[in-house]
Amino acid sequence: MPSHSLADFDFALPPELIAQAPSPVRSASRLLDVAPGGDADRSFADLPSLLGEGDLAVFNDTKVIRARLYGRKPSGGRVEMLVERIVADDRARVQMRASHLPRPGGRVDLAGGAHAEVLARDGRFFDLRFVGTGAVADWLEHHGEVPLPPYIAHAPGPDDAARYQTVYAAVPGAVAAPTAGLHFDAATLAALDARGVARATVTLHVGAGTFQPVTSDDLSRHRMHAEWFRIPDATAQAVAATRRRGGRVLAVGTTSLRALESAADGDGGVRAGAAETTLFVTPGYRFRVVDLLLTNFHLPRSTLLMLVSAFAGHARIRAAYDHAIRQRYRFFSYGDAMLLRRAAD
């Protein structure tokens, strides 16, 4: 297996292909079917026909919180914050942007007479205690913004509050959407059921670090941020049942894949329970659970592009991305999707 450098995961993307808004209908997005016989241009609504009775689709049921908020330092300087995770009713870990970042012991004044005290700093992250907010999660629902990714140029509006969220979102905690799931609507889920495709869920709260760039040409030096995930007992049982009947496990999104692979039991199944994962998947990784991957198109030089290259094969992904650019697919969170098969070990 040849080693790879950061430059191997670069590509030139015309800026106009970065989707700034979702398709008017969720399931009307395009689907690039990356298959052994050649890539096929399809509609996302075709996905159920590419699966069959006995297969299992695993969805990440995390729910995006209104994680972006604004405040001011006592000096009057503006502070922008992005919540990475809520750690207690009055505590959160955040990233901050300001002309001069506050130090431990400093304070940031917030809407409604509330404020946050800086308890500690750990690299890019600040630990804050919120005062006068009540439960932070509830306060964010009233005073926070939908945390759209940095490559989406418009300010979040009512449409984003609905569309930057999967229809099956259930467990609040993510600060970025599991975007492969944004394409599903009730009709597509019903079509999966009609095909005899089983469904199960995991929860992985996507953190702000999902947009953290890889800066070292030596990939082994990159460290993933930790993300919390949970595998329900029913999902572990569903994976085991799929293995027994010879079906395939489809991960809906890279977050579902990382949760499943992080919980792999070494026998093709997964262990139930909750844990933290820092799994960084690069070419050469041996997948133990997932057979199929549904995913969007990812940023150049990103950990997610490395993951899909490991899954389907570096050359296959390069060819698929070249094809997608020629055919004017829409890229990134609000863009189109691709279906990948696991490359032979």
Render pLDDT for 101-126 as a digit per residue (tens, 0 to 9). Answer: 999 999 999 998 999 999 999 888 99
DSSP letter, residue 80? E
Verdict on whether the full-model pTM lies above 0.85: yes
123 or 173: which carries more pLDDT confidence? 173
Between CA 130 and CA 126 the distance in angstroms is 12
Range 126-133 average pLDDT: 97
Q: In which band, very low, low, confident or very high, does the pLDDT at 220 lie, cut at 50, 70 and 90?
A: confident
Residue 224, CA distances (Å) to 68, 92, 149, 261, 336 in order:
21, 19, 18, 15, 26
Report the share of the chain in percent with pLDDT over 90.
Answer: 88
- Residue 197 backbone dihedrals phi, psi, to 5 degrees: -85, 125
**For 236-268, how does the pLDDT look when each residue is reduced to its tens digit (9 = 90+)?**
999 999 999 999 999 999 999 999 999 999 899
Pseudo-torsion of CA 70, 74, 78, 84, nearest 10°? -40
**Residue whose C-alpha is closest to residue 43's, from 16, 66, 25, 61:** 25
**What per-residue confidence (pLDDT) applies to 13?**
97
- Is 208's pLDDT higher than 90? no
Task: Give pLDDT, residue 262.
Answer: 97
**How far apart, in Å, are the Cα atoms of 175 and each of 6, 182, 244?**
26, 15, 36
The answer to whether 341 and 34 have CB atoms below 8 angstroms apart is yes
Query: Tokens 């300087």 label which residue?
Result: 77
Q: What is the model's pLDDT at position 211?
A: 66
Q: What is the pLDDT of residue 225?
A: 82
> 2-6, 251-255, 285-289: lowest mean pLDDT where?
2-6
List the alpha helices (DSSP H) in the chain. Answer: 136-143, 158-163, 186-194, 233-245, 254-262, 303-312, 314-326
- Quick check: 1 pLDDT over 60? no
At 210 the pLDDT is: 67
- Which phi and psi angles does 21 have, rounded to 5°? -150, 155
User: Is the per-residue pLDDT at 287 higher than 90?
Assistant: yes
Model confidence band, residue 306 (pLDDT cutoffs 50, 70, 90): very high
Task: Report the pLDDT averaged over residues 63-76.
Answer: 96
Question: Mean of the pLDDT values across residues 174-195?
Answer: 97
Cα(93)–Cα(20) distance, integer angstroms: 28
Alpha carbon distance 175, 63 (integer Å): 8
- Residue with the bigger pLDDT between 93 and 222: it is 93
In the predicted model, what is the mean pLDDT of the chain?
Answer: 94
Residues 298, 308 contacting (CB under 8 angstroms): yes
Domains of the chain, start order: 6-64+161-341 (3.40.1780.10), 68-143 (2.40.10.240)
List for the chain the helix, strand, coil content (%; round to 5). 30, 30, 40
